[in-house]
Copies of this chain bind each other. A is one copy, B any other.
Amino acid sequence: MTSTTTTTQTTPQVTPGIVAETPFLQALVQQVRANDHYGVYRNWSDELVLSPFVVSKEKKRSISVDGDVDPATQLRILCFYRAVATLIEKETGKLCQVVIDLSHEGFGWSLVWTGRLVVVNRTLRDAQRFGFNSLEQVADQGDKLIKSALETLQKFPEAANA
């Protein structure tokens, strides 16, 4: 049998300086650094700090979805949605609250709401494997959630102010 396997890229490639140019990634790196109580990341570049958000397909496949979600992964999920919330706040001046509810085995909800209005509402599945193909994709997904949240806020301003 002749093997036709090609080498697959397992280490994520990161564009240098991408964080400084991308508002969403800046908000995200602030969230992660805010949780760095022991200063481990103090001398790390922003790109390195955000590198655990990039999880290749191969890596994802290797992560078991049995059992509870790793606390580090839970914190990353929380940071992601908190970054979404802070940018909505910045854009609208409305205080947003974030809840991540991972009931068990990686299933659950992520919610961002302001007043009586739910502006982001995502079901989480296989949260153990939370991650993106690239930092570009992180920013892209974050921006999409923010855009959709702002549209929801425009539709239902009364509920948001209640």
Q: Cβ of A115: which chain B residues have Cβ within 8 Å of it?
A: 118
Which of A17-25, A36-44, A61-69, A154-162 sits within the interface?
Answer: A154-162
Let me know if A150 is at the binding interface, CB within 8 A: no
Q: Which residue of B97, B113, B116, B119 is within 8 Å of A156 (Cβ)? A: B116
Q: Which of A135-162 contact B (CB under 8 A)?
A: 152, 155-156, 158-159, 162
Q: Cβ of A121: which chain B residues have Cβ within 8 Å of it?
A: 113, 116
Let me know if A47 is at the binding interface, CB within 8 A: no
Q: Cβ of A49: which chain B residues have Cβ within 8 Å of it?
A: none
Query: Which interface class (under 10, 10 to 19, 20 to 34, 35 or more) fits A?
Result: 10 to 19
Q: Which of A45-104 contact B (CB under 8 A)?
A: 97, 99-101
Q: Cβ of A99: which chain B residues have Cβ within 8 Å of it?
A: 99, 101, 109, 111
CA–CA, A15 and B159, complex, Å: 40
Look across to chain B and name the residue whose beta carbon is closest to the beta carbon of A116: B118
Q: Cβ of A162: which chain B residues have Cβ within 8 Å of it?
A: 152, 155-156
Q: Cβ of A155: which chain B residues have Cβ within 8 Å of it?
A: 158-159, 162
Let me know if A27 is at the binding interface, CB within 8 A: no
- For the complex of A and B, 6 pairs with smallest distance between CB atoms: A159-B159, A156-B159, A99-B101, A116-B118, A113-B118, A99-B99
Q: Show 8 A/B contacts (Cβ-Cβ < 8 Å), sorted by A.
A: A101-B101, A115-B118, A116-B118, A116-B121, A116-B159, A156-B156, A156-B159, A156-B162
